[in-house]
Amino acid sequence: MKSLGSTRRSFTPWLDKETKPYISFQNVTKKFGDFVAVDNLTLNIYEREFYSLLGPSGCGKTTLLRMLAGFEEPTSGEIFLDGVSLKGVPPHKRPVNMMFQSYALFPHMSVRDNIGFGLKQAGIAKAQITERVDAILKLVKLEEFAKRKPDQLSGGQRQRVALARSVVLRPKLLLLDEPLGALDKKLREETQFELMDLQHELGLTFMIVTHDQEEAMTMSDRIAVMDKGTVIQTGTPAEIYEAPNSRYVADFIGTVNTLEGKVKEKAAGKVKIVGKDGFTIEAATTDQFALNTDDTAWFSIRPEKIKVSRSKPDKQTNAVEGEVWDIGYLGDMTLFNVMLDSGTIMRASVLNAKRTVDDPIGYEDRIWLSFEPDAGIVLER
Amino acid sequence: MGNFFKRVTIGLPYLWLCLLFLLPFLIVLRVSFSEPVLAMPPFAPQFDLSEGWQAFTDAVSRFTLYNFQFVLEDSLYTNAYLSSLRIALISTFLTLVIGFPLAYGMSRAPMTIRPMLLMLVILPFWTSFLIRVYAWIGILKPEGLMNQFLMGAGIISTPLRIYNTEIAVYIGIVYSYLPFMVLPIYATLEKMDYSYVEAARDLGCSALGAFWKITARLALPGVLAGCFLVFIPAIGEFVIPELLGGSRTLMIGKTLWSEFFNNRDWPVASTVAIILLAILVVPIVLFQNAQARAAEAGR
C-alpha cells in the first residue's frame, strides 16, 4: 500500500471514529472590537497528541492558545476539555499549563522557586515540592542552576526552566507558544527532539503555536495550517507537505512550483492540464477531484520531485526546457532556478549523492525538467 | 583633552554639592555648637580670621554641646519630633494607599492614553506649590467650598471642622506629594511584563494572589522609592502644617521656624535642624541601600 511520505505512524487516533477528542473547539469565534481573530473554528485534538498550530503572525493561532489557557473567552462557540466545557473557568482552575513565548520566568525568584511556584500554589507539602522539583531539574539537566535567578541563565537554560515550570504540575494539556522562537538554529534543532522525548516520556498532550514550518513538521503528529482566523487544512506533516489542499498550504510549507493551467482531458485517476507555460501536464488525481474541462487548475510540484537532465526525455508530457538562471549549492543538495521560455521560473533540487560530478550544470545552460504524473498534485484553489 | 572634559563633568556636580549643600551644612553645624547672644549675628563665638590661628582655636574651644542636651531633654522638641514622625508615616501610608491604585490603573491603561494620564499627574506642578496649599484653605475652612457643598446637598447640617486640624495636614501632604508616589510606582509597573501575571494565574494563582505575589512584589522598588520620596520631605514639612494645621499641630518644621524667626535663637534652631538631619539620614541610607540592591539585581 502506498502511503504519503516516508514516515509510518501507528498513532492515529483521529482516524478512529470511536475515539473521543480530548480538546474540542466547537464553532469558536473570537472578536477584538471589529477584528475577527478566530472565525467560527471547529477543531478536535486527541489525547497524547503533539498538535501544532502553524500560520503567519496575526492568523489567530495565539488567540486560540490563550482561549484554552483561559486568558481570553470566546465571543461565541464553546471549548471542551475532556468532555467538560471550559466556559467561565478561570485560568487557575484549568488543568492546562502554558509555556510563554517570553518564558515569563519570575525575575525575583530562583530557578527552584520558579519551578516550585505552581506546586506551592496547589498546597503541596514542602518535602514533596523539593522532591518533584529535583526530579524535573534532573530531567531538564539544570541541577546545578537551581539557585540561580533567571537573569543569570542563558537563553537555552531559561527555555528549559520555563518548560520545567509548565510540566511540573503534570497538566492534562501543555500549551507552548513559540517555545523555540528565542533560540538559535542549532539549539532549536536539539531542543525539538528533547521536546518530543519529553512529551513521550510524560505522556502529555502538547499543543504548540509556531510560525516555523520546519519546527512543526519535525515535532507534530498533526498540524493545523491557519490563515485569517480559520483552519485551512489539518493533517499529518506528510499529508500537509505531500497533499496540500490549496495553494496557500502548499506555499506555506516548504518550497513549491505552482503552474497555472486549464483542465483539458479528464479520465478516472488522471487529468491533462494545458499549462500557461506552453507545455502539457499529465497528473494523477484522487476520487475527490471535482474540476471540469476548461476549469482553471494549479499544478503544484516540489523541487525535489523534478528530474533535471541535459538531454530531452523520451516523453511528450511532463517535460519542459529552460535556461539555468540561478544555482544554489547547499552542500547536501543543489538548487536550480530554471527560467522557462515563457518567463516562469521553476525550481528543481538535486541531491548531491556523489562527491564529484562529471560535466556539472552551469549558469545559462539549457536543461530539461521532467516529472512523473504522481509527483505533483492538482489544486483547485 | 577628553580626560579633562570627563573630570569637569564629574567634578561639576561635586562642586555644586560642596557649595550648596556641604558648606551650608557646616555653617549650620558650627552655629549649633554656639551660644545665643544679643548681637548681629546672634550667636557666639565668632571667627575673626584677621586675628590668626590662635583666635580660631580659642573660638573652637568655646564650642558647646549644651544646645543638643537642651533640645533632647526638653519634651517640647521631642514631642515635635515624634509628632512629625507620626504625621509623616501616616501621610506616607495614605499616599501609598491612594497612589498605588492610580499608578496601577495608569500602567494598565491603553498605550495611547498613557501619556495624557502621565501629564495629568504632573499638571499640578505647573501651579505654585504655595498657591495650591492656599487653595486648600478655601476648600476646607468652615465656610469653605467643601462644607458649602456638603451642607447644600443636605449631607451635613453643621460645618465639618477640618481646617486647622491634623486631618487638614494629611490632606495637604497627600495631595502635594501624590505625584512623587505615583511616578516611581508607575515606572516600575509600566515596564513590568504582564505575562508574569498570566504565568502566575496559569500556575494556579487567583487574580488577587497573582497581584500580591507578582505585581506588588515586582513593584516593590518603585513603592520604596515613592515612600522615601514622600516621607523624607514630609517629616520636615513647614508650609502645609503652618497654613492648614493650625496652632495645635506640632511639627518640627514649625518649631524650627519659630526658633529662628520668633525667638531669634539661631543655635537652638540649628541644633533642631541637625538632629532632624540625623533622623533623616537613617531612612536615606536605607533608601540608597534599597536602590543599590535593586540596581544590582538588574531591574
- Strand, helix or coil for residue B101: helix
Residue B62 resides in a domain: no
| pLDDT at B297 exceeding the cut of 70 | no
Structural domains in chain A, sorted by start: 13-95+171-248 (3.40.50.300), 255-379 (2.40.50.140)
Confidence of residue B299 (pLDDT cuts 50, 70, 90): very low
Q: Is residue B216 part of a domain?
A: yes
Nearest CA in chain B to A92: B204
SS3 of chain B: helix, strand, coil, percent, to 5: 75, 0, 20
Report chain B's mean pLDDT, rounded to a whole number. 88
pLDDT value for B109: 92
The residue-averaged pLDDT of B38-43 equals: 81
Residues in B lying within 8 Å of A, measured between beta carbons: 193, 195-196, 198-207, 209, 214, 217-218, 297-299
More confident residue, B99 or B286: B99
- Whether B177 and B203 have beta carbons less than 8 Å apart is answered as no
Looking at residue A54, the DSSP 8-state letter turns out to be E
Expressed in percent and rounded to 5, the helix, strand and coil fractions of chain A are 25, 35, 40
CATH number where B190 lies: 1.10.3720.10
Task: Please tell me the predicted confidence (pLDDT) of residue A4.
Answer: 63
Evaluate if residue B177 carries a pLDDT over 90. Answer: yes
Distance CA A103, CA A168 (A): 15
Q: Which pLDDT score, from 0 to 100, does residue A287 have?
A: 66
Backbone dihedral angles phi then psi of residue A99, each to the nearest 5 degrees: -105, 120
Rg (CA), chain A: 25
Query: Is residue B223 one of the residues assigned to a domain?
Result: yes
Residues near B278 by Cβ (< 8 Å), separated by ≥ 6?
Answer: none
Cross-strand bridge partners of residue B36: B43
Does the distance separating the beta carbons of B218 and A104 come in below 8 Å? no
Within-domain flag for B179: yes
Cell 518548560, residue?
A163
Reference A375, options A318, A296, A322; nearest CA is A318
In chain B, the number of structural domains is 1
pLDDT at residue A1, as a whole number: 45
CA–CA dist B261, B122 (Å, integer): 34
Q: Of A192, A225, A297, whose CA–CA distance to A59 is shortest?
A: A225
CA–CA dist A86, A94 (Å, integer):
8
Can you point out the beta strands (E) in chain B?
35-36, 43-44
* Chain A residues in contact with B202 (beta carbon < 8 A): 69-70, 91-92, 96-98, 166
Sheet harboring A366-370: ordered strands across? A307-309, A366-370, A319-329, A333-340, A345-351
Cross-chain residue pair B195–A100, CB shorter than 8 Å: yes
pLDDT (average), residues B255-269: 89
Question: pLDDT tens for residues B120-164?
Answer: 999 988 989 999 999 999 999 888 899 889 888 888 888 888 888
pLDDT tens over chain A, length 381 residues: 456 655 545 677 777 777 788 888 888 888 888 888 888 888 888 888 888 988 888 888 888 888 988 888 888 888 888 888 888 888 888 888 899 888 989 988 888 999 989 888 888 888 989 888 888 888 888 888 888 888 888 888 888 899 889 888 888 888 988 888 777 777 888 888 888 888 888 888 889 998 888 888 888 888 888 888 888 888 888 888 888 888 888 888 888 888 888 878 777 777 777 777 777 777 777 766 677 777 788 888 888 888 888 888 777 678 788 888 888 888 888 888 888 888 788 888 888 888 887 778 888 888 888 888 788 787 877
Cis before B41? omega within 30? yes
Backbone angles phi, psi at A51, to 5 degrees: -110, 130
B67 within some domain = no
CA–CA separation, B32 and B37 (whole Å): 13
Instruction: Please report which confidence band the pLDDT of residue B23 belongs to, taking 50, 70 and 90 as the band edges.
Output: very high
Predicted pLDDT at A16? 73
Q: What distance in Å separates the CA atoms of residue B212 and residue B222, rounded to the nearest whole number?
A: 15
B59, part of any domain? no
ipTM strictly over 0.85?
Answer: no
* pLDDT band at residue B118 using 50, 70 and 90 as cut-offs: very high
When pLDDT is averaged across residues B283-298 and rounded to a whole number, the result is 73
Higher pLDDT, B299 or A186: A186
Are B172 and B136 in contact by the 8 Å Cβ rule? The answer is yes
> Cβ(A127)–Cβ(A116) under 8 Å?
no
Residue B211 DSSP label = I
Range of the domain at B117: 74-297
Q: H helices of B109-219, where?
A: 114-122, 129-140, 145-152, 166-190, 195-202, 207-210, 217-218
Domain presence at residue B12: no
Residue of B192, B202, B205, B213 best to disrupt the A interface, most CBs of A under 10 A: B202
Q: What is the pLDDT of residues B223-247, one digit of tens each?
A: 988 998 999 899 988 889 988 988 8
Q: What is the dihedral of CA A76, A82, A84, A85, to 10 degrees?
A: -10
Whether pLDDT at B11 is above 80: yes
pLDDT at B184: 94
pLDDT bin (cut points 50, 70, 90) of residue B284 is confident
Residue B84: inside a domain: yes
Cell numbers standing for residue B41: 549675628
From A71, A121, A166, residue closest to B198, measured CB to CB: A71
User: Which of A99, A109, A117, A172 to substitute to test the interface with B, most B CBs within 10 Å?
Assistant: A117
